[in-house]
Copies of this chain bind each other. A is one copy, B any other.
Amino acid sequence: MIPASITVGDIATALNVSANGDRSRPIRAVSSLSEATGEELACLSSDQYLNEFRTTRAGAVIVGKKVKLPGDAAGNGSPALLVVDDADLSMAKVLAMFAPAIPRPPLGKHHTAFVAPSASVAEGVRVGPNVFVGDDARIGRNCVLHAGVYVGAEVSIGDDCEFFPNVVVRERITIGSRVIVHANTAIGSDGFGYRWDGKQHLKVPQIGTVIIEDDVEIGSCVCIDRAKFAATRIGRGTKIDNLVQVAHNVILGPHCILAGQSGVAGSAKLGAGVVLGGQSAVRDHVTMGDGSMLAACSGVMDDTEPKSIVSGLPAIPHRQALREHAALRKLPELVAEVRELQTQVAELTRRLQSP
């Protein structure tokens, strides 16, 4: 599935740079500096990894132009060097060259799949075994529904989407184009809303929907709940990691990043490009300004300014949190010091009173 042979020259051409070394050398895989063999390519993105670079046996190395290479880096037997503007970006391109194809169901509908007669399935769609597509659902061109995917009634899906096995999309959800959803994720379950009626929790009907815009990617075991009314919305280009909770009526702006196990409570609103660290939490009804960041394992209880960085629980500006942590490290001895001061001051007071 990987092209039969890729050479150092092929990679240099793809990255539009020159190659310092043997252009005909074959490269069969990508690896790390410390583990790469002579037929593998590695990456040196910062001076931090110069030690690994000195002893690498990689056949080729992508080098960020900021890196200060040792003088003998391009000697005999050394790896071919490809110096690039942005090592990480170039690495992404090279990984794409080596990416094996994703195994997909064949074109058309597997005979074990159930597709409602009233559903509309565009050309180029692949429907795997045991897939369910409900009444009046619409599946856009070239979509891939892997085995066991559930697409509820009246769901609308754009073009070029890929849903991995056992993804569940409940009824009446709208999904854009080029959306990727990984295995075992649930979209459109009821929001979590109850009213205590004096004897029991009365279920508040969750009659809204979920709208997922174009170019969104969603990890595995993610939950995105339908709105109480109107819509929970995931903005264009937003990326969501595994095991993330997005509650009802949440609005995520475009290009947000939600790291693994983060959670956004009901009706919270994230602006454009907001970043949530792993295991972080956003309180219900909080608004996070464009480009603001919440650190990992932190919980934000109040609105955040655009471009601010907050951390801790409750989250405060990150610099202040660092100062508090530093002070906290000194707190046990501070208590002792205050006790000592109290003794000294009592002694001084005594002496002044009885001279």
Confirm or deny: A174 has a beta carbon within 8 angstroms of a beta carbon on chain B.
Answer: no
Confirm or deny: A108 has a beta carbon within 8 angstroms of a beta carbon on chain B.
Answer: no
Confirm or deny: A144 has a beta carbon within 8 angstroms of a beta carbon on chain B.
Answer: no
Confirm or deny: A68 has a beta carbon within 8 angstroms of a beta carbon on chain B.
Answer: no
Contacts A132-B148, A194-B239, A243-B243; is A189 near B220 (CB within 8 Å)? yes
Partner of A342, one of B102, B164, B195, B341: B341
Residue numbers in B under 8 Å from A31 (CB-CB) = 229-230
Contacts A192-B219, A197-B89, A219-B192; is A330 near B326 (CB within 8 Å)? no
Cα A35 to Cα B328 with chains together (Å): 46
Confirm or deny: A234 has a beta carbon within 8 angstroms of a beta carbon on chain B.
Answer: no
Partner of A263, one of B257, B278, B326, B351: B278
Q: How far is the CB of A317 from chain B (nearest CB, A)?
A: 11
Q: How far is the CB of A49 from chain B (nearest CB, A)?
A: 11
Confirm or deny: A292 has a beta carbon within 8 angstroms of a beta carbon on chain B.
Answer: no
Cα A180 to Cα B279 with chains together (Å): 26
Cα A99 to Cα B172 with chains together (Å): 12
Residue numbers in B under 8 Å from A190 (CB-CB) = 180, 182, 219
* Interface 0/1 of A285-297, CB less than 8 Å to B: 0000000000011
- The answer on a CB contact under 8 Å between A328 and B326 is no
Tell me the nearest residue of chain B to A102, going by C-beta.
Answer: B171
- The answer on a CB contact under 8 Å between A182 and B186 is yes
Interface members, chain A 313-355 (any B CB < 8 Å): 313-314, 316, 320, 323-332, 334-335, 337-338, 341-342, 344-345, 348-349, 351-352
Sort A-B residue pairs by CB-CB distance and give the 8 closest, nearest first: A186-B220, A223-B242, A103-B153, A168-B183, A95-B205, A183-B186, A297-B299, A30-B229
Interface residues of A (CB under 8 A from B): 29-32, 35, 88-89, 91-92, 95-96, 98-100, 102-103, 110, 112, 114, 128-130, 132, 134-135, 146-148, 150, 152-154, 164-166, 168, 170-172, 180, 182-186, 189-190, 192, 194-195, 197, 200-207, 215, 217, 219-223, 225, 228-230, 237, 239, 241-243, 245, 247, 255, 257, 259-261, 263, 265, 278-279, 281, 283, 296-297, 299, 313-314, 316, 320, 323-332, 334-335, 337-338, 341-342, 344-345, 348-349, 351-352
